[in-house]
Amino acid sequence: MRQIQVPKPYLPRRRFLQLSGISSLGLILGGCGVSLFDDVVQKATEPLNESVETLLFNPQKPVPEFPASAIEPDALLVNTFDFTPDLDPAKFRLTVDGEVNRPMSLSLAEVERMPLTSMTIRHVCVEGWAAIVQWGGVRLRDIVALAQPKVNVRYVYFKSADGYYESWDLASALHPQTLLAYQKNGQPLPIENGAPLRLASPIKLGYKQSKWITQITLLSQKPPSLGYWEDRGYEWFAGL
């Protein structure tokens, strides 16, 4: 099976922040005006340019995780549209298609038979709140590898059962802590949090982490519609 290679930046992200005295999170959360981490500047300005964020991002470096004792079970707010899809787990199918050699349609049971990864991370919302959550699921990179993407693939497009849509750069999708999650805090993922499958990752803001995912499409070019909120003016890369 072809190994997917992603380039590494020449300057580590945290070192760049130390040298420059800025934090991408502080800049991204311009409307919040608050710091969520010690190394985030107190006053936010414009979002980082996408090319700079891409330079700072290390596609293989894990983000430090929290102990289980740090989980905040009531802190994860439910931000959704008025419509919550009614999905039958027994009939659910995840479509993986696009510029791939092996398009797939996977049942939830087939996804759950893949190796389980659990992580306790901070979920950060662009609205200015955060929550420490334990997510369990399959690494997105394992799903992508099964589909055997073609060599020119650079982007991943997600469709959700509620009509939401989102796109990521391939390197972020292949990060070892980017999951298709079906567990929350050691229990089956609740429908209001995106069951049967949702994105969960410590490297992106909350609006990038789609719920109720039904289709994953691998692309060589950015899709015309970048994402529900991006098409309304939000930043596309949205990295932490």
Domain borders along the chain are: 65-232
Q: Which span out of 11-25, 32-46, 139-153 was modeled with the highest average pLDDT?
A: 139-153
At residue 167, does pLDDT exceed 50?
yes
Q: Closest Cα partner for 5 from 215, 149, 103, 114? A: 149
Model-level pTM? 0.78
Class of domain 65-232: alpha beta
What DSSP designation does 204 have?
Answer: B
Sign of the dihedral defined by the CA atoms of residues 174, 124, 94, 189, in that order: positive
Provide the percentage of residues in the chain whose pLDDT is more than 90. Answer: 68
Q: Write down the pLDDT at residue 50.
A: 57
Q: Write down the pLDDT at residue 55.
A: 53
User: Which ranges constitute the DSSP H helices of the chain?
Assistant: 13-20, 24-28, 50-56, 108-112, 140-147, 170-173
CB–CB of 60/176 below 8 Å? yes
In the block, tokens 């590898």 appear at 145
pLDDT digits (tens, 9 = 90+) for 134-159: 999 999 999 999 999 999 999 999 99
Judged by DSSP in three states, 30 sits in: coil
What DSSP designation does 91 have?
Answer: T
Q: Write down the pLDDT at residue 23.
A: 37
Cα(194)–Cα(204) distance, integer angstroms: 17
